[in-house]
A and B are shown apart, each in its own frame.
Chain A
Amino acid sequence: TQLLEQSPQFLSIQEGENLTVYCNSSSVFSSLQWYRQEPGEGPVLLVTVVTGGEVKKLKRLTFQFGDARKDSSLHITAAQTGDTGLYLCAEQSTNDYKLSFGAGTTVTVRA
């Protein structure tokens, strides 16, 4: 099981600002998933990236997968208070489907 490092750990921004969250590993990811979790709820899958250099967009969210498949980023444009939550990256094992999560980034968007 490889270690997924997320940064920053906490992020507090004003509504309308942009933010970026990073997920890195010393090993190559088979694929990488990003989740968002609200307080008192389970995580919800946002996106899965598989191919090196891949870029996926989900409304104001842009996900990038590094060319070497060792890093990924989540960029939110013009953040809204509804974007507040814990953002988690995770790698899913290809043989037993276990998920290994990063430590998470707590994002707070202030009105």
Chain B
Amino acid sequence: GAVVSQHPSWVICKSGTSVKIECRSLDFQATTMFWYRQFPKQSLMLMATSNEGSKATYEQGVEKDKFLINHASLTLSTLTVTSAHPEDSSFYICSAERNTEAFFGQGTRLTVV
């Protein structure tokens, strides 16, 4: 199956700093990628759709200035959590579409202290 890689797998940062998470499709090109957030024992909540070469589209209630998304190439989308606070601590997961099937990255555990 297709491979989607996220980096880093986990990160701890201080409150007020920014953190960048990368999502790469390793063996296919993806014009569309998705970013999800997941709290412990809960389901995935879609945050935004990342579109190559254009602005991301955000789901209702997700602050676009807080969660900056850049999809600069057909194999890379980045999510930057700006001015992170403890309530931003969560598991962030990306996915990329290939032939209508979604392939997920392994996720990034963000802890803000």
Binding site for B on A (CB under 8 A): 40-45, 86, 88, 92, 96-104, 106
Inside 8 A of A44's CB, which chain B residues have their CB? 104
Chain B facing A: main interface SS: strand
Inside 8 A of A42's CB, which chain B residues have their CB? 4, 6, 93, 95, 104-107
Binds A, one of B40-48, B65-73, B81-89: B40-48
The reply on B102 being an interface residue by CB < 8 A is yes
Q: A97-B100, A99-B46 are in contact. Are A41 and B41 (CB under 8 A)?
A: no
The answer to whether B102 and A99 have CB atoms under 8 Å apart is yes
Most B-side CB within 10 Å, residue of A42, A88, A92: A42
The answer to whether B32 and A101 have CB atoms under 8 Å apart is no
Within 8 A of A (CB), among B95-113: 95, 97, 100-102, 104-107, 109
Inside 8 A of B105's CB, which chain A residues have their CB? 42
User: How far does the alpha carbon of A97 sit from the alpha carbon of B107 in the complex, in Å?
Assistant: 20
17 contacts between A and B (CB under 8 A): A40-B107, A41-B106, A41-B107, A42-B93, A43-B44, A92-B100, A98-B46, A99-B44, A99-B46, A100-B46, A101-B43, A101-B44, A101-B45, A102-B43, A103-B42, A104-B43, A106-B41
The answer to whether B41 and A97 have CB atoms under 8 Å apart is no
The answer to whether A40 and B44 have CB atoms under 8 Å apart is no
The answer to whether B43 and A45 have CB atoms under 8 Å apart is no
Inside 8 A of B100's CB, which chain A residues have their CB? 92, 97
The answer to whether B107 and A99 have CB atoms under 8 Å apart is no
Inside 8 A of B109's CB, which chain A residues have their CB? 40
Q: A42-B93, A104-B42, A104-B43 are in contact. Are A98 and B49 (CB under 8 A)?
A: yes
B43 CB contact (under 8 Å) in A40, A41, A88: A88
The answer to whether B95 and A98 have CB atoms under 8 Å apart is no
Most A-side CB within 10 Å, residue of B4, B6, B44, B106: B44
Minimum C-beta distance from A11 to chain B (A): 13
